[in-house]
Amino acid sequence: MSTSVALAIQSQELPQVESTALNLLLQWISDRVSHAHNQWLHTQIENIAKSNSNRDLHITLGLIPRKFGRTDLDLSTLDLKAADLCVKGWNPCNWSIDTAARVAVLCCMAEQNVQRFNDTITDLFQGADLAESIALYSGSALYPESDELAWLIGEGLRSNIRSVFESIAHNNPYPALHFDQNRWNHMVLKALFVETTLAPIVGLDQRANPELATILCDYAQERWAAGRPVSIELWRCVGPHAQGAMIDNLQLAARSANVAEHNAAVLALSACPDPVARAMVDNYPATAEGVIKGSITWDSLCSV
């Protein structure tokens, strides 16, 4: 553990020196692997930089889980704060040691030679195995943005492998930073389709928009028509932009006998500036009070 990090933990403050994502990753790795393995990683990184071919790069990425294993990083609250401070929204709470090392190798390459990084990533992502895909996509916010990366992210979103999709959509600030509205809206919609949660999407509330609200209400009606339930999280993106028939949809959900669905709909209505919605909230004083007092929030609803 470096002195600055040790001091920071003692004083419960974040390190004063500004860290880069790469420095954090290398620190977390060195705190968790043997000295010999740590040396190996640094030697490999030097060799990759010196070599003209990508042979060392492929071998290093392949050997990382074999050498380091695949256990969770299990980062402390302080580490996670440092990550967020370094790259706003970066939340490596679910990263494993091999993910960290693989992303570190890519970040090093990008730092050394952006052109080479851009020329290589398509090949790397397309030839990745399952765990490797998840790892490489998890780090997307830490790489330099490029047309190549943007295209690869699109490919990952189109994947039918839910965990690959989640490695982009969840705990990753890349989409909020780089997606246009259409891609953003389709990511949220696909998250519902593949039955994953919306809460870990970074920027979910900030990027909510009227078109997404319309699309989601259409989707809710489709589900109701098929006699299928609707994720209560859907209403979170509808509330702030609901108008007209969308408010009726929210009212329908608010009438649900399912408490969570009812609470979610009232919470969403509370976020709607339309006076019609305000009036509806008043029909449910007990729930409205929960919303005002902060006992009914999206966090509390989604942690059930």
Partner 1 sequence: MMFIDPHAHMISRTTDDYQAMAAAGVVAVIEPAFWVGQPRTHVGTYIDYLSAIIGFERFRAGQFGIRHYCTVGLNSKEANNAELAEGVMEILPRFALKEGVVAIGEIGYDEQTDLEDKYFRLQLELAKELDLPVMIHTPHRDKKRGTSRSMDVCEEHGMDPGKIIVDHNNEETVREVLDRGYWAAFSIYPSTKMGNARMVDILLEYGSDRIMVDSACDWGISEPLGVAKTAKLALERGIPEDQVRMVCYQNALSAYGQSGQMNESDWLNPEAIDQRTVYEGNSILRGGREPVVEEAAVKRNADNLIIE
β-strand partners of 96: 72
Within 47-106, the residues that bind partner 1 by CB under 8 A are 58-59, 62-63, 65-66, 69-72, 94, 96, 99
Measured from the CB of residue 19, what is the shortest distance to partner 1 in angstroms? Answer: 24
Within 175-214, the residues that bind partner 1 by CB under 8 A are none
State the Cα–Cα distance between residues 107 and 144, nearest whole angstrom: 9
Q: Phi and psi for 143 in degrees, rounded to 5?
A: -95, 160
Q: Which residues contact 96 (CB under 8 A, 6 or more apart)?
A: 70, 71, 72, 73, 135
Question: Rule CB under 8 A: is residue 119 a binding residue for partner 1?
Answer: no
Question: Rule CB under 8 A: is residue 229 a binding residue for partner 1?
Answer: no
Measured from the CB of residue 16, what is the shortest distance to partner 1 in angstroms? Answer: 32
Q: Which is nearer to partner 1, 100 or 192 (CB)?
A: 100
Question: Rule CB under 8 A: is residue 228 a binding residue for partner 1?
Answer: no
User: Is residue 179 exposed (0-12), middle (13-18) or buried (19+ Cβ within 10 Å)?
Assistant: buried
Q: Copy the structure tokens of residue 185.
A: 């809206």
User: Is residue 263 exposed (0-12), middle (13-18) or buried (19+ Cβ within 10 Å)?
Assistant: buried
Q: Copy the structure tokens of residue 57.
A: 């790069």
Measured from the CB of residue 291, what is the shortest distance to partner 1 in angstroms? Answer: 31
Within 143-182, the residues that bind partner 1 by CB under 8 A are 160-161, 163, 166
Residues lying near partner 1 in the complex (CB under 8 A) are found at: 58-59, 62-63, 65-66, 69-72, 94, 96, 99, 126-134, 160-161, 163, 166
